[in-house]
Amino acid sequence: MIHQYKLNGYNIVLDIFSGSVHSVDEVAYDIISMYQNKTKDEITEIITEKYSEVTKADVKDCISDIEELIADGKLFTEDKYADLAFDFKKNNTVIKALCLHIAHTCNLNCEYCFASQGKYHGERSLMSLEVGKRAIDFLIENSGTRTNLEVDFFGGEPLMNFDVVKEIVKYARSIEKENGKNFRFTLTTNGMLVDDDVIDFANKECHNVVLSLDGRKEIHDNLRKTINNKGSYDTIVPKFQHFVERRGNKNYYVRGTFTHNNVDFTNDIFHMADLGFTELSMEPVVCSPDDPYALTYDDLPVIYEQYEILAKEMLKREKEGKPTTFYHYMIDLTGGPCIYKRISGCGSGTEYMAVTPWGELYPCHQFVGDSKYSLGNIYDGVTNKEMQDNFKLCNVYARPDCKDCWAKLYCSGGCAANAYHATGSINGIYEYGCRLFRKRMECAIMMKVAESTDKF
Amino acid sequence: MKRIQTIETRDLKKSTISGGCGECQTSCQSACKTSCGVANQQCEKCLEKK
């Protein structure tokens, strides 16, 4: 399977199953598009008629190049990964990442929160140190030979239970070496409780921090309000700036959510950049279509255009020596994921699980609160094997809708939770999200082509 | 090639042999939390080589 598209003056051909990316001229673009459906004579006739300057010999040369690429396994490569997908995941029994729900409570009252203002449709709750330590032990016990283990402090707002966060990290650090493990902690915070103590801790211990900011003040304050119904922008922005300034070159993301209210979200991303943040992420809101801020199909053309504007502006800023990173445009064509990663999906319910404040296990943070998805707990392990098996079988080849999608090895089948909420099945797809994903990939790869061909 | 420039990429077919160590980051753990994609993830082994 190939995918061809034109963007920002580039003609791009993706060979899906080898991962090859080709930048071609108009003639080659047209020849490749006809190669599998027309004879060489037909192609020659069409091309020489369309392009007066192109000779029959030119067409022949181009076809010869195409055949060379096919022989090298870089064009029209066949898909032979389906069996690998099922076998690999079925045999994968290790857990390597936990999302610890440190606090099912929040000091903000964000309207669009999928966690229902941090409480996940349940009671306010804080994780105890005893549960947190047991979660660390559970992860080590179930991680097999994996060295790098990820733990995300999530909520609600995890800093509302900061003392427990610190003690869990202290505990994990005290036993990681003897167990041959390397913990990578991530802290996701809304910023309200960030102070020097938090910054010192996070900059010493956390591999990554995710700082929630939606962009422009009026956009941010519209949905990210305090319990007293006031905007949180003025409180958090100086804290985040101080945080990032002191973070040096360690990983962080300033992460926003865009909604129907700000489909011109590049203005929010550029606002973040203008505030001095360089590592940026902006996610489309995931909510009920009935919510007033839900993205609509009418928004799609605008959003597509926004992604293009973002890619072009990022190339411009890079050229000017002011590079920014956009999470969804980070793509490493030479050092990206192997085929196993690309076909097996996000790992929810298998190698990645969420732990509630009381130690219950869920396939991921987005399933927490939906009791039929409870997998077990950190004391008894996974007891709902039937449900876990559903996740083990969930991969890009298990989703019929992904069969003919060119982006399937870039997305690995998408988010199981989004699919479930959109279709009722984790093997469905969240089609709206797919459309956005494909556009983002086209932009991300175009940027790589631009960088490689030095045209920008 | 006159009309085709091939950008250097990781050969996915070859990675059936070299890949699968599982040391890489879990897709959703890093920043998004509400969507999934793997293209922007790094291969841990490739990172070590760099």
A292-307 pLDDT per residue, tens: 999 999 999 999 999 9
Strand partners, A362: A354
> Do A433 and A418 contact (CB within 8 A), yes or no?
yes
Task: Examine the pLDDT at A186 and tell me if it is beyond 50.
Answer: yes
Please give, rounded to a whole number of angstroms, the shortest distance from the CA of A228 to a CA of chain B.
27
Find the closest chain A residue to B25 by CA distance. A150
Q: Which of B6, B9, B11, B10 is nearest to A66 (CA)?
A: B6
Best interface-test mutation with B: which of A65, A79, A153, A339 has the largest number of B CBs within 10 A?
Answer: A339
Q: Give me A136's structure tokens.
A: 């660390």
Q: For testing the chain A interface, which of B1, B2, B4 should be mutated: the one with the most A CBs within 10 Å?
A: B4
User: Is A155 within 8 Å of A103 (Cβ atoms)?
Assistant: yes
Task: Examine the pLDDT at A456 and tell me if it is beyond 70.
Answer: no
Q: How far apart are CA A298 and CA A303, in angstroms?
A: 9
Cα–Cα distance, A80 to A387 (Å, whole number) = 28
pLDDT per residue as tens digits for the range A200-255: 999 999 999 999 999 999 999 999 999 999 999 999 999 999 999 999 989 999 99
Question: Least CB-CB distance to A333: which of B10, B36, B47?
Answer: B10
- Tell me whether 0.90 is exceeded by the ipTM: yes
| Long-range pairs, B18-22, Cβ under 8 A, ≥24 | B18/A338, B18/B45, B19/A337, B19/A338, B19/A339, B19/A340, B19/A341, B19/B43, B20/A88, B20/A338, B20/A340, B21/B45, B22/A92, B22/A94, B22/A96, B22/A146, B22/A340, B22/A351
Q: Determine, for residues B29 and A281 on separate chains, whether the beta-carbon distance falls below 8 Å.
A: no
Residue B27, pLDDT score: 72
Q: What single-letter amino acid sits at B30?
A: S
A96 touches chain B (CB under 8 A): yes
Q: In 3D, which of A162, A107, A104, A83 has the Cα closest to residue A129?
A: A162
- Residue A394: list chain B partners with CB under 8 A: none
HSE at residue B25, side-chain half, CA atoms within 13 A, is: 23
What pLDDT does A359 receive?
98
**pLDDT tens-digit map of A102-141:** 999 999 999 888 888 888 889 999 999 999 999 999 999 9
CB A120 within 8 A of CB A113: no
Contacts of A97 in chain B (CB under 8 A): 25-26, 29
Q: What is the 3-state secondary structure (H, E, C) of chain B?
A: CCCEEEECCCCCCCHHHHCCCCCCCCHHHCCCCCCCCCCCCCCHHHHHHC
Q: Could you tell me whether strands B4-7 and A20-24 are parallel, antiparallel, or unpaired per DSSP bridges?
A: antiparallel
Q: Are A254 and A205 in contact (CB under 8 A)?
A: no
Assess A444–B contact: CB distance below 8 Å, yes or no: yes
A352 and B29 in contact by Cβ < 8 A?
yes
Is it the case that residue A455 has pLDDT exceeding 70?
no
Which tokens belong to A222?
């519209």
Is-contact A406 A356, C-beta < 8 A? no
Amino acid identity for residue A323 in this structure:
P
Distance separating alpha carbons of residues B36 and B5, to the nearest angstrom: 30
Contact B6 A69 (CB under 8 A): yes
User: CA distances (Å), A52 to each of A67, A146, A261, B23, in order?
Assistant: 24, 60, 49, 54
Residues of chain B with C-beta less than 8 angstroms from the C-beta of A92: 22
Residues of B in contact with A339 (CB under 8 A): 12-13, 15-16, 19
Share of chain A above pLDDT 70, in %: 99
**Region A177-191: what's the mean pLDDT?**
97
Contacts of A21 in chain B (CB under 8 A): 6-7, 9
For helices A40-50 and A26-34, angle between their N-to-C axes, nearest 10 degrees: 150
In the predicted model, what is the mean pLDDT of residues A324-340? 92
Q: B48: distance to nearest CA of chain A, Å? A: 10
In angstroms, rounded to a whole number, what is the distance separating the alpha carbons of residues A129 and A163?
Answer: 9
Q: Tell me: the pLDDT tens digits for A60-101?
A: 999 999 999 999 999 999 998 988 877 776 777 899 999 999
Return the ∠ at Cα A340 (arms to A336 and A344), rounded to 5°.
110
Pick among B2, B16, B38, B44 to test the A interface (most A CBs inside 10 A): B38
Inter-residue contact A116 to A108 (CB < 8 Å): no
Q: Which residues pair with A251 in a beta bridge?
A: A208
- How is residue A17 written in tokens? 């199953």
Q: Which residues contact A104 (CB under 8 A, 6 or more apart)?
A: A115, A118, A119, A120, A122, A123, A124, A125, A126, A155, A156, A356, A357
pLDDT-derived band at B50 (thresholds 50, 70, 90) equals low
Residues 210-229 of A with CB under 8 A from B: 210
CA gap A103, A188 in Å, rounded: 12
Interchain contact, B26 vs A150, CB within 8 Å: yes
pLDDT at A309 over 50: yes
Q: Are strands A381-382 and A182-189 parallel, antiparallel or unpaired?
A: unpaired
What is the pLDDT at residue A98? 97
A20 → chain B, closest CA residue:
B9
Decide if A224 contacts A110 (C-beta within 8 A): yes
Question: Which residues from A are below 8 Å from B17, CB to CB?
Answer: none
Q: Which residues of B touch A364 (CB under 8 A)?
A: 28
pLDDT digits (tens, 9 = 90+) for B21-43: 888 888 776 666 767 678 888 89
